């Protein structure tokens, strides 16, 4: 679990693969009976979604900037996926022809820049969502 230090994974199953989880900051603020009513799947996107919206977590971490930094750890994975999709022949986002000799090429500066732009868009989207709450 990527954000394990911020959540408690419960024994109760959310589905066949994931357990339910609760937020430590929310638990500390409202108590266990109340926080159990707001449990969520331990899947990383569900955890990130809760953490970016939880006012108790934002306050506990010292503000929105700190939360963005914490959630930014997960954004590195998005950047890796974007970079891989540019060189993966099976991807629908490939930038070169499948007959191209450079199937295993390193991403060009343009491709890296596009990946950075995607990362910046994701960061901005998270920041906007936090500002709304």
Nearest to 12 by CA among 33, 35, 42, 32: 42
Helix (H) or strand (E) holding 83: helix 64-87
pTM here? 0.55
Half-sphere exposure of 71 (CA within 13 A, CB side): 28
Q: Are residues 8 and 72 in the same domain?
A: no
Q: Are residues 54 and 78 in the same domain?
A: no
**How many domains are contained in the chain?**
2
pLDDT in tens, 7-58: 999 999 999 999 999 999 999 999 999 999 999 999 999 999 999 999 999 9
Q: Are residues 58 and 93 in the same domain?
A: no
The residue from 16, 36, 62 where one domain ends is 62
Q: Are residues 28 and 91 in the same domain?
A: no
Euclidean distance between CA atoms 43 and 131, whole angstroms: 24
Q: Are residues 130 and 90 in the same domain?
A: yes
What is the mean predicted confidence (pLDDT) over 66-80?
68
CA-to-CA dists, residue 121 to 32, 75, 103, 114, angstroms: 36, 11, 28, 10
Q: Are residues 123 and 69 in the same domain?
A: yes
Q: Are residues 57 and 107 in the same domain?
A: no
Total H helices, total E strands in the chain: 6, 3
């Amino acid at each position: 679990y990527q954000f394990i230090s911020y959540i408690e994974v419960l024994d109760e199953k959310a589905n066949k693969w994931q357990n339910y989880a609760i937020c430590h900051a929310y638990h500390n603020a409202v108590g266990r009976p109340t926080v159990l009513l707001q449990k969520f799947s331990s899947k990383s996107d569900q955890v990130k979604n809760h953490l970016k919206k939880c006012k108790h977590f934002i306050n506990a971490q010292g503000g929105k900037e700190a939360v963005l930094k914490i959630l930014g750890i997960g954004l590195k994975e998005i950047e890796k996926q974007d970079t891989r999709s540019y060189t993966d022949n099976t991807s629908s986002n490939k930038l070169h022809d499948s007959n191209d000799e450079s199937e295993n090429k390193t991403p060009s500066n343009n491709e890296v820049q596009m990946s950075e732009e995607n990362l910046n868009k994701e960061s901005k989207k998270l920041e906007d969502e936090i500002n709304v709450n």
